[in-house]
Structure 1
Amino acid sequence: MALHISVSSACFCGDFIHRKVQRIRAVASEDFTTVKTEEDKVKLGGSELKVTRLGIGAWSWGDTSYWNNFEWDDRKMKAAKAAFDTSVDSGITFFDTAEVYGSRFSMGAINSETLLGRFIKERKERNPEVEVAVATKFAALPWRLGRQSVLTALKDSLCRLGLSSVELYQLHWPGIWGNEGYIDGLGDAVEQGLVKAVGVSNYSEKRLRNAYEQLSKRGIPLASNQVNYSLIYRIPENNGVKAACDELGITLIAYSPIAQGVLTGKYTPESPPTGPRRNIYTPEFLTKLQPLINRIMEMGQNYNKTSTQVVLNWLISQGNVVPIPGAKTAEQAEEFAGALGWRLTDEEIEELRSLASQIQPVIGFPVEKL
């Protein structure tokens, strides 16, 4: 997908530049899993940062270029806020955003970072003890050069978030040039106390190893690599990225873990998704997908779980993987929590992989905003 993105170096704090569904309902509220103890968290790579085993992606918050049918209004704002609060109430406290999400320069109504920062502030006003782990990302735009550009962008992100530091800062994608400087900038951010851990996103095995080695020279672990990973998009298993993460002790953060809603069973050949996703998940593709969707639903019935919870559990069961599905509503956030606290059997995991392997991955799968 060709997208033209421009991000200003200025900080716009306070600027409001701001399924026929057939699926099984989640189990009764008393059976919902919540994350309450430290043992329910995982370390990101070799860092000391612990996050919940499942996070929430905030790509859609404020966005009008890919999500929300090209419009953002007060109703969607309230829904996003409810998604945030329900996530925290369910014990999911790891949120991932980026400076380009919802950016007014990429057809956004309001920056996702600004929204997340506001939600956190309002929550802390009610409960000062609440702890939220924030991950955001640096956009490796062609005109951004050197390590200082990383620090400048990070400080602007902190301004929009209303925070003095974030838990995880990531390079959103490899730059056309200047990557060594970007890695140095990540290291500087750690040493200056602006972040607790650093990671990359959309990095190949080779680039991942190089970044790992460069940071290691400064005694700084590379905590994560955030990539597109789901039951029907298993490229990280095939291109060496997942194996390299496991070898080096780098956590794989999986974005689009439910394939942008397609694995939930929400969409059918007769009722495909709207907007840009309609060009990716065509009726022809959805027809080929139905046997897998049907089996996912059957497994869900056996566990009294939804299809969404099954596919997220499949990812968590791979080990060293933290999925970050996007939540636009409280209902979605509550459903995601039900992916935790149980596990598919090894036989079920392999059966789903085998069924999915018969489906050619979508070539046009968007790499977020790249």
Structure 2
Amino acid sequence: MNDVKKFKYFTVSSLAFGTWRIGGGYWYASHSMDNQWVSAIKRAIELGIRVIDTAEMYGNGHAEELVGEAIKEFSREDLFIVSKVWPSHADYDNVIKSAKNSSKRIGSYIDLYLLHAPSRVPICKTIKAFERLVDDGVIRFFGLSNFDVDGIERAVECSSKYDIVAIQNHYSLLNRDDERKALSYAEQNGLMYMAYTPLENSTLSSNEFLANIGKKYGKTATQVALNWYISRNNVIPIVKATKIPHVEENAGAMGWRLSEEDWKAIDAHFREKSYFLDKLISSLKSIRPWT
């Protein structure tokens, strides 16, 4: 399915496959579902989801290993692999070490390398390491995750050789605060904005309003929600699925577009409702680390 977005330095699929909780969790590995996880990643790639998002923290590196296993039978040039370095590894030497370890686990260079969240390490030291990694061919591009505009601008000031090309933050129809902040900055500056948790842990998948709009297109609420993000020029939603039918449903969000009228109706509907406080808080039963 050829549904792509073009940015200054690269062209990527309009949807990304996320690997949080694949291969384990917060710095611990699990091998209990390796075959299923690899199959899910492979199916996503087959269906045109060519952006794969992972991190050294996910499964203590095991998610990266599973990505590496899954991509072996595909042309590497057709894929866009994203990984992230944890904030406690943000000093120069540890960034270099972490990136090389991630690259080894994936079995390839990394297309986009992100600082997973703000760190106590001065950002210029991290950016300097990122630029070294580009020079060495370990990564192609770099960016930031969970950063506000002030933090992004400080990082941009540190970049002397290469541009920051992407921001990855929490954004959804239920959590729209970033529209006035980092998302707006990304749009104005031509950066790719990767939106994690776009379905809010399946809350939007059962939304009646979205389901009713989906009937016009023969699409599910999930597919309508994902297409709403895809329809924004620079937004790439990151969505995870571990079962093939769910992967296929997610991929069905690509290859078509909501009408302008329906896009605006969804936009207005979720602005008028207090979904974030009323529904999201009740669904988050435990605090989790950055995705």
Gaps of 5+ in 2: none
Corresponding letter in the other structure for 1:88: I
Structure-to-structure mapping, 1:222-301, within 5 angstroms: 222-238=164-180, 240-265=181-206, 293-301=207-215
2:156–2:164 contact (8 Å) kept in structure 1: yes
Is the Cα contact below 8 Å between 1:98 and 1:137 reproduced in 2?
A: yes
- 1:346 shift after superposition: 2.3
Aligned to 1:310: 224
CA, structure 1 residues 168+86, in 2 after alignment: closer, same or farther (shift >3 Å)? same
Selected match of 2:274 from 325, 334, 359? 359
Structure 1 counterpart of 2:6: 43
Whether the 8 Å CA contact 1:62–1:112 is kept in 2: the answer is yes
Map 1:1-370 → 2, pairs under 5 A: 34-35=1-2, 40-44=3-7, 46=8, 48-64=9-25, 72=30, 74=32, 76-103=33-60, 111-121=62-72, 123-124=73-74, 131-141=78-88, 144=89, 146-163=91-108, 165-215=109-159, 217-218=160-161, 220-238=162-180, 240-265=181-206, 293-357=207-271, 358-362=273-277, 368-369=289-290
Matched residue of 1:168: which SS?
Answer: strand
Q: In terms of Rg, which structure is larger?
A: 1
Aligned residue for 2:38, secondary structure, equals: helix
SS at match of 1:298: helix
Secondary structure (helix, strand or coil) at the match of 1:135 reads strand
* Cα shift at 1:132: 2.3
- The offset of 1:93, in angstroms, is 1.4
CA distance in 2, matches of 1:87, 1:65: 24
Quick one: distance in 1 between partners of 2:155 and 2:6? 19
Q: What count of residue pairs does the alignment treat as equivalent?
A: 284
Unaligned runs of 5+ in 1: 1-33, 104-109, 266-292
Structure 2 counterpart of 1:140, which letter? Answer: P
C-alpha contact 2:123 2:154 (8 A) present in aligned 1: no
> Which amino acid counterpart does residue 133 of structure 1 have in structure 2?
F
SS of residue matched to 1:261: coil
Higher helix residue share: 2
Q: Please give the alpha-carbon distance, in whole angstroms, between the structure 1 residues aligned to 2:30 and 2:100.
A: 26
Instruction: Return the alpha-carbon distance in structure 2 between the equivalents of residues 56 and 320 of structure 1.
Output: 16
Measured in 2, the distance between the counterparts of 1:72 and 1:87 equals 21
Give the drift of 1:222.
1.0
Cα distance in 2, alignment partners of residues 248 and 159 from structure 1:
32
The verdict on how the C-alpha distance between 1:295 and 1:197 changes in structure 2, with shifts beyond 3 A counting, is same
Identity %: 27
- Find the residue that maps to 1:324 and give its secondary structure: strand
